[in-house]
């Protein structure tokens, strides 16, 4: 039986108060609650403050290239389907340079949980506007206010028919743990976008701001997370300031369930060497 201590490593090096501490704690608690052990969990991260997630989480970790955590995570999962695989990144890493991979990961539906720490700013590079920065947000690269429309991850994900879409807040660990658990147990690609305040470079989207403005859809009895169109309308009406399980498609098969010839036994345990007979058969087909 694993414990929180099993999933801890050295003391994280984020700024004191960073929302990423809460995200890390929620991931660790979710894994313990699900009965997972460190050797069965892999965290693949990109670049940025969020990129440290793979070294601060006490399981297997891969620190990949900027915006490339998703293709790496999908490869890991397909190579060993027995592993629980997280991809972790920030809003710049995931919705900027990694946007193309995000779209195709949703389309492909490999059983990976994607955790995005959305702080509406580039934190590691000291405070530039990010893809989710609100219009009018004054930053180093937008001293007169951002004029570009922000990416809205929830609406984008549901428009692409992502099978599981959730949004949390690192100031509400109890709910965030529950969302992580739901995401991991969902069969297929799961998005957990997390409002993870940057206490150093974003003085607008703060813990206080989110506590004053967020609406918890998990507490709305009339809300139906299986109704995609209604979910899109509800997110738009709340200006994206919602938390909870936003949408879940319970019927969509995962990539592995549809892939022809994909063995039940993990590929890491399969002898993939060609026999002499198979090799000759392939050669003869080209003669």
pLDDT at residue 122 in the model: 95
Q: Taking the CA atoms of 22, 153, 45 and 75 in sequence, report the sign of the dihedral they define.
A: positive
Task: Give the per-residue pLDDT at 274.
Answer: 85
Sign for the CA dihedral angle at 81, 7, 167, 67 comes to negative
Summarize pLDDT for 206-230 with one digit per residue, the tens: 999 999 999 999 999 999 999 999 9
Q: Is the pLDDT of residue 271 over 90?
A: no
Residue 183: Cβ within 10 Å count? 24
**194 neighbors 167 (Cβ within 8 angstroms):** yes
Q: What is the mean pLDDT of residues 119-126?
A: 95
Give me the chain's average pLDDT, please: 95
Q: What is the pLDDT of residue 268?
A: 85
CATH number at 18 reads 3.40.50.970
What pLDDT band is residue 267 in, cutting at 50, 70 and 90? confident
pLDDT tens digits for range 153-208: 999 999 999 999 999 999 999 999 999 999 999 999 999 999 999 999 999 999 99
Residues 6 or more apart whose CB falls under 8 angstroms from that of 169 comprise 175, 176, 194, 195, 210, 214, 243
- pLDDT at position 10 is 82
- Reported as a single tens digit per residue, the pLDDT across 41-85 is 999 999 999 999 999 999 999 999 999 999 999 999 999 999 999
Q: How would you classify the pairing of strands 164-169 and 190-195?
A: parallel
Range of the domain at 267: 4-284
Q: How many domains does the chain have?
A: 1
Contact 124, 99 (CB under 8 A): no
Using pLDDT thresholds of 50, 70 and 90, give the confidence band for residue 258.
very high
Q: What is the pLDDT of residue 269?
A: 87
Whole-angstrom distance, CA of residue 154 vs CA of residue 232: 8
| Percent of the chain scoring above 70 in pLDDT | 100
Is residue 240 predicted with pLDDT exceeding 90? Answer: yes
């Amino acid at each position: 039986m694993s414990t929180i201590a099993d999933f801890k490593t050295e003391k994280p090096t984020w700024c004191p108060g960073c929302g990423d501490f809460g995200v890390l704690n929620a991931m660790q608690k979710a894994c313990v609650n699900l009965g997972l052990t460190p050797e069965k969990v892999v965290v693949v991260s990109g670049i940025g403050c969020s990129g440290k997630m793979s070294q601060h989480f006490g399981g297997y970790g891969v620190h990949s290239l900027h915006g490339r955590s998703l293709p790496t995570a999908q490869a890991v999962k397909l190579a060993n389907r027995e592993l629980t695989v997280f991809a972790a990144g920030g809003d710049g890493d995931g919705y900027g340079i990694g946007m193309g991979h995000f779209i195709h990961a949703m389309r492909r539906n490999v059983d990976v949980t994607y955790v995005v720490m959305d702080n509406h700013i580039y934190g590691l590079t000291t405070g530039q506007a990010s893809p989710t920065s609100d219009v009018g947000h004054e930053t180093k690269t937008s001293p007169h206010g951002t004029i570009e429309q922000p990416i809205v991850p929830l609406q984008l994900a549901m428009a692409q028919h992502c099978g599981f879409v959730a949004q949390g807040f690192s100031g509400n660990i109890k709910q965030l743990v529950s969302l992580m658990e739901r995401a991991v147990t969902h069969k297929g690609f799961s998005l957990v976008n997390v409002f993870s305040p940057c206490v150093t470079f974003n003085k607008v989207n703060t813990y206080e701001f989110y506590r004053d403005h967020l609406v918890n859809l998990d507490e709305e009895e009339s809300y139906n997370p299986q109704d995609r169109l209604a979910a899109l309308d509800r997110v738009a009406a709340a200006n994206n300031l919602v938390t909870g399980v936003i949408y879940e498609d319970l019927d969509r098969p995962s990539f592995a369930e549809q892939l022809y010839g994909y063995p039940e036994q993990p590929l890491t345990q399969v002898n993939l060497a060609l026999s002499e007979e198979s090799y000759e058969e392939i050669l003869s087909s080209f003669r």
